[in-house]
Amino acid sequence: MTMRILLIRGMVVGLVAAVASLVFAWIFGEPQINLAITVEEHHAHGGAAADPEQFSRAVQQTLGLAAGLGLFGVAMGGLFAVTFAIAYTRIGQFSARATSAIVAGAGFAAVSLRYSAQASVTDRDRWIGERGGPACGFWPGT
């Protein structure tokens, strides 16, 4: 199988995963976000003018969510395909299924070990610098 075909398959699978994530987000995530927005608006400090929205909430929960998840899914699918292509037969004589499971497990472990489940609110600035900076290609203090 050529690298081109493998990359296209990975990107298609990433898009399929993004569609599944989109359906899950619409069913389970959006109602909770709308509830949180309602609570926030209810508890807003009186007299404080709300910032104007660049995109309406309807656009955020439909087109914005679909575009964000779609691009992320395609990118992760492509990244996984390239990583699989590099690892296949180089990490041992494993089948394609076993190699993909090893690559997926290693990726999951790397992300899980690098980022904690929740950040301390009191230490937010340090957390952003330590974890957010390197992830975006910036080093803290630069």
User: What tens digit of pLDDT does each residue of 28-70 get?
Assistant: 999 999 998 888 888 876 656 667 778 888 898 899 999 999 9
The first and second tokens of residue 137, run together, are: 């290609």
Q: Are residues 60 and 110 in the same domain?
A: no
* Count: domains in the chain: 2
- Residue 118: pLDDT band by 50, 70, 90 thresholds? low
In a domain, 100, yes or no: yes
User: d(Cα 52, Cα 100) in Å, to the nearest integer?
Assistant: 46
Query: Are 134 and 66 members of one domain?
Result: no
Q: How many CB atoms lie within 10 A of CB 110?
A: 10
Q: Is there a single domain that holds both residue 67 and residue 130?
A: no
The pLDDT score that the predictor gives to residue 121 is: 57
Within this chain, do residues 110 and 137 fall inside the same structural domain, yes or no? yes
Q: Which domain holds residue 77?
A: 1-24+56-87
